[in-house]
Amino acid sequence: MGRALAQLPEVEAKKKSAEEKGKARVSTTDPDARVMKMADGGFRPAVNGQFVTDTAAQVIVGVEASNAGSDLGQLAPLVAQVQAHYGQAPAEVLAAGGDIKLEDLVTVGCTVYAPVPQPRDPARAPYQRRPGDPEAIAQWRERMGTEAAKVIYKERAATSECVNALARNRGLRHFVVRGVKKATAVLLWFALAHNLMRAVALRRAAGCVPA
């Protein structure tokens, strides 16, 4: 109970109105969890898990668990994690549209392929530079309007989304532990097992392991 009450001010601070602040809740069974919208449309306490996947090998190279209810803003910390682990940031990144904060495009230091949201004004062309755009954001808009970028982005469905589907098929549908640290441990164990299986498959494909 004490840990849950200690996190209540943080939850309230993220609410926009006084009415919303009054409805702020934390879970007494898992203070790290936050109420999130599920795939079935319901709302339940949850932890948000993220994988970073190499598109060529389908090897998991980054893992993150957080209590953020949205993927928005997850790109920059995941790129930073990869850079810390491997000594360099990826040259190119395929990201879901919901992961992107525009300011992250300026700071991540790599070429980002992610959908450009449709403007609220239907008369505005989505892929054209906007007044005041930093160069990285303007280049992203123009890049995603090209056929080459659209072809590259299609790789995401066959790579990272494929790994996500494998995770679900192998039983990683919900956490049976509490807390972000323990959820991170579960994701790391899954990544380790997945990468071992990928290593065998890649070595077999290269003729290094008997079929």
Q: What percentage of the chain reaches a pLDDT higher than 90?
A: 40
β-strand partners of 111 = 92
pLDDT at position 28: 56
Query: What is the domain range of residue 202?
Result: 48-211
Q: Is residue 58 part of a domain?
A: yes
Provide the number of structural domains found in the chain: 1
Determine the Cα angle at 26 with ends 20 and 31, to 5°. 150
Of 173, 181, 179, 182, the residue nearest 38 (C-alpha): 173
> pLDDT digit string (tens) for 43-61?
888 888 899 999 889 999 9
Mean pLDDT over the full length of the chain: 83
Q: Is residue 21 part of a domain?
A: no
Q: Is residue 41 part of a domain?
A: no
Q: Is residue 42 part of a domain?
A: no
DSSP structural state of residue 116: P
Would strands 111-113 and 92-94 be described as parallel, antiparallel, or unpaired?
Answer: parallel
Q: What percentage of the chain reaches a pLDDT higher than 70?
A: 85
Q: Is residue 105 part of a domain?
A: yes
Q: Is residue 36 part of a domain?
A: no
